Amino acid sequence: MTTNTKKQEDPMSTVTPTRAPHQDVPTGHKHPEGRVGAGLFDPKQLVKSLPDACRKLDPRVMVKAPVMFVVLVGSVVTTVLAIKDPGDWFGWVITAWLWLTVVFANLAEAVAEGRGKAQADTLRKAKTDTVARRLAGDIEEQVPGTELKIGDLVVCEASDIIPGDGDVVEGVASVDESAITGESAPVIRESGGDRSAVTGGTKVLSDRIVIKITTKPGETFIDRMINLVEGAARQKTPNEIALNILLASLTIVFLLAVVTLKPFAIYAGADKQTSMIVLTALLVCLIPTTIGALLSAIGIAGMDRLVQRNVLAMSGRAVEAAGDVSTLLLDKTGTITLGNRQAAEFVPVRGTTEAEVADAAQLSSLADETPEGRSIVVLAKEKYGLRERHQGELAGAEWIAFTAQTRMSGVDVDGRKVRKGAAGSVIAWVREQGGEVAEDADTLTDRISEAGGTPLLVAVQDDQGARVLGVIHLKDVVKDGMRERFEELRRMGIKTIMITGDNPLTAKAIAEEAGVDDFLAEATPEDKMALIKREQAGGKLVAMTGDGTNDAPALAQADVGVAMNTGTSAAKEAGNMVDLDSNPTKLIEIVEIGKQLLITRGALTTFSIANDVAKYFAIIPAMFAVAYPSLDKLNIMGLASPESAILSAVIFNALIIIALVPLALRGVQYRPMSADKMLRRNLGIYGLGGLVAPFIGIKLIDVLISLIPGIG
């Protein structure tokens, strides 16, 4: 197992801070713009995107997609030839369908970008030219928000719009972030913790905070969101670039092959059947136009599917890397477990009763506002019938608050001192008071730790001296369905590692209950970094989530670093994705979306190359059957005439692009399975489907064309 060799720390050091009212709770909310699913075929969206598709006919834009640029050049060539021979209906029809092929290809990308632009328009409404209350020493001055610089301090009170991205350095406030998350419930932002980051354009609902600006005007989070969802900042990923190079190479090969056909045709006496228009049609049908047309749309749609789940990918590379991830680092608290440990039982040492432990535990927890502290008070009341007491009832009581240094809390009242906290700290306190520790205290704490719980010791000093009364058993509750999710990831070939600050015994028990492959106990930022580097050194891609400044180094090192929107600016800057819902379990969904992107690209590439094979049987016999009658045996589709065969292939080549747009946007359905099994499945469905579909489609189109007088 992956555990630290450092000296074991007591678990009290990981007590969760108090959760404030209205604090961020993952809701699964989606943006209003995302109500139409990424894969739905919406004819209205096609019509709306048509102007954008036509604008993309600019050669300077088309040259970025080599395959479709060749089709554009071919369309121009056939247009010129058709103009020279205006009576050639065949040339005009081929020209029209070649232009439609280019437009359909651009339409696929325009539709994918369309949804992002709709969301970008909504985000722009959140951008307002606010007046900032900047602090200059003790003096407050009003300046335009556009004049703020990194490091400036600004004051925001109720009803103020936050003028820029920054961190809260003073105060606590309720903030409306619906402009960026779509979630109407307010969230708490406060100084000194992992929930200090605020975003420009959001609104303060209550109280007063001082914010330190961390970004320049024009580079705020909302500005970056607009660029990302609109597609303006999308860069081609390494796999996409490699596939573009492959498609360009295939295009060059087929171009050379088609060029050499002309001399053969002249030699064979089939010059009339191999006109420039026919050769251009052949080239367009042979090169991988289908995947060439859909490649950009697939990449944009992948990022859009993340946006639908309130996740912003700062680059397409991150989405692609998510699909290749082989190691997942997951925090225990809030991800694998429900997050708040609950008191499950009070275990007395020999010579003490459960009632005594419960009474002391409740008394020492009255000033403990953590979820654990409140659960102790509730358990003592419900299980042992102790009346819930309040601090105000204990006159003259001196309350001992929990600190990271002491790792204890308690109260001094009526000549008694009661303490509750981490085992090491409480034992040290008892010995400082001159008391003795019961022999079975260590045995009880070890037993609870081995069972996956967190032990807290309860001790008292009174007229009988200082002594340990017993142990409080805090229990982590593993979320329902986590074991099944991890089993699913295992089938995907992904190793899961749980990261926790708990001691190794507790971590091991939780890891076994949850079903993770490995764990890292007593994790520090350096430990996380070392683990990520170790996995990467083995050739693996690593994904992790984080929200604090101490997570920033590991988020930057990970191949996929998902920062929580509630986290610090440092965490969001270090990660290459931001989860607006701040739901750590969403990392599993992100990996699935990444894999779906890669599978979709591979499946449609397979389909595209396979359906090119069928077109050979339509066009080649049509071109050379006159000179070589024996080639007519290759006309296995029984196409009516050379003209209808070539025209049917060109029409099918254009229509299949528009027919596959919904699949490219929705993505191929992903099922967890091994890579070999997935390859066989996709070859069976999309390889065989790519061969069969053109035979059926071209034949149907040929039948319809042959009904037109003068063609059949």
Known binding-site positions:
368, 372, 402-409, 420, 547, 551
Q: Locate 179 and state its tokens.
A: 């402009």
Look at the alpha carbons of 439, 443, 449, 452 in this order and tell me if their dihedral is positive or negative: negative
- What is the C-alpha separation between 710 and 701, in angstroms, rounded? 16
DSSP string, 126-185: H---PEEEEEETTEEEEEEGGG--TT-EEEEETTPBP-S-EEEEEEEEEEE-HHHH---S
Nearest to 24 by CA among 220, 168, 189: 189
DSSP string, 358-404: HHHHHHHHTT--SHHHHHHHHHHHHHH-PPPP-GGGSTT-EEE---T
User: Radius of gyration of the chain from Cα atoms?
Assistant: 33
The answer to whether 525 and 553 have CB atoms below 8 angstroms apart is yes
Kindly list the distances between the CA atom of residue 3 and the CA atoms of 507, 520, 528, 552, in Å, as whole numbers in the listed order. Answer: 9, 5, 11, 21
Nearest to 94 by CA among 107, 76, 121: 76
Q: Coil, strand or helix: which one is 545?
A: strand
Which one is catalytic: 167, 223, 304, 331? 331
Nearest to 154 by CA among 131, 123, 187, 175: 131
Q: Coil, strand or helix: which one is 232?
A: coil
Nearest 5°: the CA angle 181, 184, 190 is 75
> Binding site residues for Mg(2+), as ranges?
547, 551
Q: Which amino acid is at 636?
A: I
- Has 331 been annotated as catalytic? yes
Nearest to 294 by CA among 108, 422, 134, 155: 108
Kindly list the distances between the CA atom of residue 217 and the CA atoms of 67, 572, 666, in Å, as whole numbers in the listed order. Answer: 40, 17, 36
- What is the C-alpha separation between 577 and 310, in angstroms, rounded? 10
Backbone region of residue 481 per phi and psi (left: phi > 0; alpha: psi in -120 to 50; beta: other values): left
Half-sphere exposure of 285 (CA within 13 A, CB side): 28
Q: Estimate the crossing angle of helix 586-624 against helix 675-682, to 10 degrees.
A: 40
Specify which residues 411 forms β-bridges with.
399, 418
Q: Coil, strand or helix: which one is 287?
A: coil
Interacting residues of 436 by C-beta distance below 8 A, sequence separation 6+: 430, 465, 467
The answer to whether 420 and 379 have CB atoms below 8 angstroms apart is no
Name the residues annotated as catalytic: 331
